[in-house]
Amino acid sequence: MKNIPSVDLSDFLSGDTARKQKFIKEIGEAYEEIGFVALRGHFLSDELTENLYKEVKNFFDLPDEIKQSYEIEGIGGQRGYTSFGKESAKGKKQGDLKEFWHFGQEVVGNDTLKAEYPKNVIVNEIPNFNIVGMEAYKMLEKTAIYVLRALALYIGLDEMYFDKYVVNGNSILRPIYYPPIIGEPKGAVRAAAHGDINLITLLMGASAAGLEVQNKKGIWIPVTSLPEQLVVNVGDMLERLTNNKLRSTIHRVVNPPREDWEKPRYSIPFFTHPISEMKLNCLPECINETRPKVYEDITAGEFLNERLRELGLIK
């Protein structure tokens, strides 16, 4: 991995105290410095990754009228299909050059949450699409839980602090398709500069280059991961919760050089969201004389709705 630190989750899972502490220190310091790591030793197998990309490509190859039949009004794009150009970054008028799908939580043992979340949308034309998508969702969610356990210890919390918020949380798996660029983009890019809304994001290796992160000096750094790695970054919710101790780094997906405009790009991030009742009030462990509290109190649900309005996904 170039430019961002590489860590191995198997160190945390090893049962060896020294290796566990090594992982906690490495990932915590990386998140204070740049907010991104490349993670190996996770729970997503190569076979499942390959199967998911195959199903995702099958879906985006469907005719537009079929895909648009899975676009559900009134839920802010939280489930199913969102068509090309509908989402824009905060503060941007131009829509991003992408279309995407959302798989969401299948709640177990909590009827209140089950009623709160929109139902997943089933694609009739591709029988394995939803099956494979939800298998990947569960493996990425499991990985996220262990990363958050390490971060809880780094912050000085109980190791299981985040479990009660993330299990049955409002997490999203988002397969994205960036079609070939036809004609001058007129200022639009594949994904404009933004920070993620959620606690942490786990990104499977994209099918083409384009992801860049902004370092502390304001310089844009290209990021590409090895096939066996996930790129895992801090989201705005975790930055807020930790009173800016852990950094939600601005990132973007730039357009390819003109000679590569005809090449599409696929990307599959997993956005780890907590339950809506989670308080994002700055943790006492992250407030002191040199780091005074900088955010007002808010819940995860209130923050999410605020950001979805800014993105143009809900009115």
Q: Strand, coil or helix: what is 307?
A: helix
**pLDDT at residue 1 greater than cutoff 50:** no
All structural domains of the chain with their residue ranges: 6-310
**pLDDT at residue 169 greater than cutoff 50:** yes
pLDDT top residue among 102 and 94: 102
Determine the pLDDT at residue 85.
61
6-8 vs 265-272, strand pairing mode? unpaired
**Out of 26-35, 69-78, 107-116, which region has the weakest mean confidence (pLDDT)?**
69-78
89, 194 contact by CB (below 8 A): yes
50, 80 contact by CB (below 8 A): no
pLDDT top residue among 163 and 204: 163
- CA 167 and chain centroid, separation: 16
Its pTM stands at 0.89
Report the topology of domain 6-310: Jelly Rolls (2.60.120)
Give tens-digit pLDDT for 13-60: 999 999 999 999 999 999 998 888 999 999 999 999 999 999 999 999
Concatenating the DSSP letter of every residue in 8-53 gives EHHHHHSS-HHHHHHHHHHHHHHHHHTSEEEEES-S--HHHHHHHH
Compute φ and ψ for 239, nearest 5 degrees: -60, -45
Burial class (CB in 10 A: 0-12, 13-18, 19+), 132: buried
**pLDDT at residue 246 greater than cutoff 60:** yes
**pLDDT at residue 314 greater than cutoff 70:** no
Q: Strand, coil or helix: what is 91?
A: coil
Percentage with pLDDT > 90 across the chain = 65
Give tens-digit pLDDT for 151-168: 999 999 999 999 999 999
**Which residue in the block uniquely carries the two structure tokens 């709705």?**
305
For residue 241, give the H/E element and its range. helix 236-241
